[in-house]
Structure 1
Amino acid sequence: MHRVQKLSILALTAMCALDGLDLFAITFAAPVIGREMAIGKAAIGLVLAAALAGMALGSLFLSPLADIYGRRRPLLFSLLMMIGGTLWTALAGNLFDLIGSRLITGLGVGTMAAVINPLAAEYANAKRRDISVAIVNLGLPAGAIVSGILAAWMIPLLGWRALFLVASGLGMVMLAIVLLWLPESIVGILSRGGPATQTRLNHLLNRCGQPASVAPDAIRPRARRRSIRLLLTPAELPATVAAAAIFFLFTLSLYYIQSWVPSLITGAGHTVSQAALAATAMSVSGVLGGSAFAFLVPRLGLKRVVIAAVTLTGLAIALFGVVPMDLPVLVAMSVLVGASTIGGMVNLYAILSRNFPPSARASGIGFVIGVGRFGSALGPALGGLLFSLGHERTMVSLVMAMPALLAAVLLLRIRQRDYA
């Protein structure tokens, strides 16, 4: 790939890391915020849920803008929402401010997630497309790790508000990069249409070291309001529903285990610090394991790698419920869970990028991610309900492993699509 393409992928990875930093900062700051503002756990739960709700709404309802107005404009809009929401969080004085600011931040993150993945697929050449999408999405767990490091240093020294000021400052840097340098993709240029389409295409091709010539039939009118209708056609609806079901089932299992690992470890008599060690091991192994799975794709094929990672996720969650609760064993299991869950997730995004036609790619990915957000909210809640009904770790983990295994079965049965 040309240098411009590689740098564009790097910029998208940095934006995904910013998402991770932004999302996880509130989880680290929540205990301090609760004490400072004298709000209870139920209210903090509303603050955390507001971001998830915003992400779902952004993915479902704002992502189609990228199929109408090109990729860069919605990307800029999502960055502005994230910056504004994060600044509002830093200045929050009450519960209303916190809920409103996290909702706005979530809208930005949800929209960005649906735009970044099509852009990654469209910047890369056919040979590097899958690994490019996977690498971009590895930014999220990397950002979570950075968020934890910054929180451990900044919150005791400068207070929790400083963490969000830093996040908003980094967002402004990314906004400048997108505004001044990041190119539109070819699909984005075509979706915008207009008399300057040929000129914009030639300029992009020149930047990427390609011949500045495009066939006249490649320049088509703007796809305004057509992307959603395209997803509902008989040719596209089955693939859209199947992708949404797989994503929902996988995120249900994934967020159960990611949310409950610290509580399960402390519930077994280990300290909070030891639980944090296991959670950190899970995050680091997620980045490393996700990278390993991504680099296996050219050798084994995307679908095989995703099925292996999703199946391993289900098995790892089930094993977490039956292994002895000794700390070394739990840390080892956390490493396995982190590698398999992130390995599955980042490569599922690569499948999504192949699954939808270019003119409806952002809408399709946004819809699937939006449905997946409901799984991310339901997973921890369903686990909590099962524990509250008196079920033990073994039974709950076996039950919560089933959605991931069912997702693997669905992946086996569907035909892999490969839109350019």
Structure 2
Amino acid sequence: MNDGADSQDVLPAFWRTFLDAPMHRVQKLSILALTAMCALDGIDLFAITFAAPVIGREMGIGKAAIGLVLAAALAGMAVGSLFLSPLADIYGRRRPLLFSLLLMIGGTLWTAFAGSLLDLIASRLITGLGVGTMAAVINPLAAEYANAKRRDISVAIVNLGLPAGSIVSGILAAWMIPVMGWRALFLVASGLGMLMLAIVLLWLPESIVGIMSRGGPATQTRLNHLLKRCGQPAIAAVEAVRPLTQRRSVRLLLTPAELPTTVAAVAVFFFFTLSLYYIQSWVPSLITSAGHTVSQAALAGTSMSVSGVVGGSVFAFLVPRLGLKRVVIGAVTLTGVVIMLFGMVPTDLPVLVTMSVLVGASTIGGMVNLYAILSRNFPPLARASGIGFVIGVGRFGSAIGPALGGLLFSLGLERGTVSLVMAIPALLAAALLFRIREHDYA
């Protein structure tokens, strides 16, 4: 197919039938499996934050060294998203997904048996590579398993797995670390990774786009096997099946047709993650600096995670009624407003907890549906590359946000002023969303 020419009006008949038909049980279970994998991302990522204080005491390393350990995972995620995700547009979706799981399992096991700071940094870097690659692969898969009607909500549901995984990680850490030590937490995480690896190997199907991206003489056979599993009629021998890619998916992002979408998506994701990670990182510190206890700050943090799952679900279910773009603009704008309000409200604990709940609902509601926009706006043959590129650049925003907030506080600025400044990127992201032209790629 020509660049950008894979819109629904030129799709093969079997693909149009797949998109128009009700979702089969296999498709729904595949979405559920992807949600579990996204939750695994959350468990792997947040386990180290819960274990960090204990690791520091046991190994005798300071906060600066722990900061390097935490940063290693983020760096690995950026590299995985930017440089490994394009493999999914060349070799299909399942192979890079399996590779990402192997990286996560290996990295998490290494963390469990780490004996030095270097071990910790290297293991978290490997884990981050796996997480970054997986995040860029499961979003295209979610869009491609779903039918046209349920695509946006399927992508949003899959991404709700991340905050759900952070909640599970917190529960496991609170139970396991005092009783069995911090290493047990990472052994459990690696065990869950092995379970997901078995599910992908033995059951999870390749998507239509993944099969056609790989091409080869067995393409029609593999497509018919997938269609049969999903209750769809087989492809007739006379129906041509053309491969989607000539192994140049990354360059498609820079063609005149796709470059505006690529630049706009990168800017939106970067600005939004900058504001998001500022407020999510600084909420506990802002609450303790207002005179409340660490336990009370942890309560607010837990409330933020729970409300993120609930709020993300509510925003996702509003999409069919209000439209995807309107919902995302609303959630991103609400994030900017809530961050400003967090700096202005009184420091009473019930007020701060309420604001934390609003922070969780708006930030996660915006993020999970922003992934749906990304899945819709990149063509199938460059979908994983496009999402990976946007996520990879966005990781810089996730690193800059907390650091910039800390710099502003160190300059003597008050909570209200810093929050006002850090709300601006989210509002810029909302404004830029108006400029994104909505595509409807298959």
TM-score normalised per structure 1: 0.99
Q: Does the 8 A contact of 2:244 with 2:381 survive in 1?
A: no
Structure 1 equivalent of residue 285 of structure 2? 263
1:21-32, aligned counterparts within 5 Å?
21-32=43-54
Q: Calculate percent identity across the aligned residue pairs.
A: 88
Structure 1 equivalent of residue 213 of structure 2? 191
Structure 2 equivalent of residue 288 of structure 1? 310
Distance 1:23 1:129 in 2: 26
Distance 2:273 2:243 in 1: 37
Q: Do structure 1's residue 89 and structure 2's residue 111 form an aligned pair?
A: yes
1:71-82, aligned counterparts within 5 Å?
71-82=93-104
Structure 2 equivalent of residue 368 of structure 1? 390
Structure 1 equivalent of residue 15 of structure 2? none
Structure 2 equivalent of residue 176 of structure 1? 198
Structure 1 position 218, deviation (Å)? 5.4
Amino acid at match of 2:112: A
Structure 2 equivalent of residue 251 of structure 1? 273
Structure 1 position 219, deviation (Å)? 2.2
Structure 1 position 335, deviation (Å)? 0.3
Residues 290, 215 of structure 1: alpha-carbon distance in 2 compared, 3 angstrom cutoff:
farther
Aligned alpha-carbon RMSD (Å): 0.9
1:55-66, aligned counterparts within 5 Å?
55-66=77-88
Structure 2 equivalent of residue 304 of structure 1? 326
Distance 2:103 2:241 in 1: 32
Structure 2 equivalent of residue 382 of structure 1? 404
Q: Does the 8 A contact of 1:67 with 1:224 survive in 2?
A: no
Structure 2 equivalent of residue 392 of structure 1? 414
Structure 1 position 213, deviation (Å)? 1.1
Distance 2:375 2:403 in 1: 29
- Residue-by-residue CA offset, 1:271-325 (whole Å, 9 max, x unaligned): 0000000000000000000000000000000000000000000000000000001
Structure 1 position 222, deviation (Å)? 6.3
Structure 1 equivalent of residue 427 of structure 2? 405
Name stretches of at least 5 consecutive residues in structure 1 with no aligned partner. none
Distance 2:313 2:349 in 1: 26
Amino acid at match of 2:202: L
TM-score normalised per structure 2: 0.94
Distance 1:23 1:198 in 2: 39
Structure 2 equivalent of residue 143 of structure 1? 165
Name stretches of at least 5 consecutive residues in structure 2 with no aligned partner. 1-22
Amino acid at match of 1:337: V
Residues 226, 328 of structure 1: alpha-carbon distance in 2 compared, 3 angstrom cutoff:
same
Structure 1 position 150, deviation (Å)? 0.3
1:337-376, aligned counterparts within 5 Å?
337-376=359-398
Residues 330, 223 of structure 1: alpha-carbon distance in 2 compared, 3 angstrom cutoff:
same
Q: How many residues align?
A: 420
Match of 2:131 among 102, 109, 112: 109
Distance 1:236 1:130 in 2: 20
Structure 1 position 220, deviation (Å)? 2.3
Residues 201, 12 of structure 1: alpha-carbon distance in 2 compared, 3 angstrom cutoff:
same
Q: What stretches of structure 1 move > 4 A for 4+ residues in a row? A: 214-218
Q: Do structure 1's residue 7 and structure 2's residue 29 form an aligned pair?
A: yes
Amino acid at match of 2:299: L
Structure 1 position 223, deviation (Å)? 2.3
Amino acid at match of 1:194: G
Distance 1:221 1:279 in 2: 47
Q: Do structure 1's residue 39 and structure 2's residue 72 form an aligned pair?
A: no
Amino acid at match of 1:372: G
Distance 1:218 1:95 in 2: 56
Structure 1 equivalent of residue 252 of structure 2? 230
Residues 252, 218 of structure 1: alpha-carbon distance in 2 compared, 3 angstrom cutoff:
farther
Instruction: Report SS of the residue matched to 1:194.
Output: coil
Distance 1:222 1:330 in 2: 51
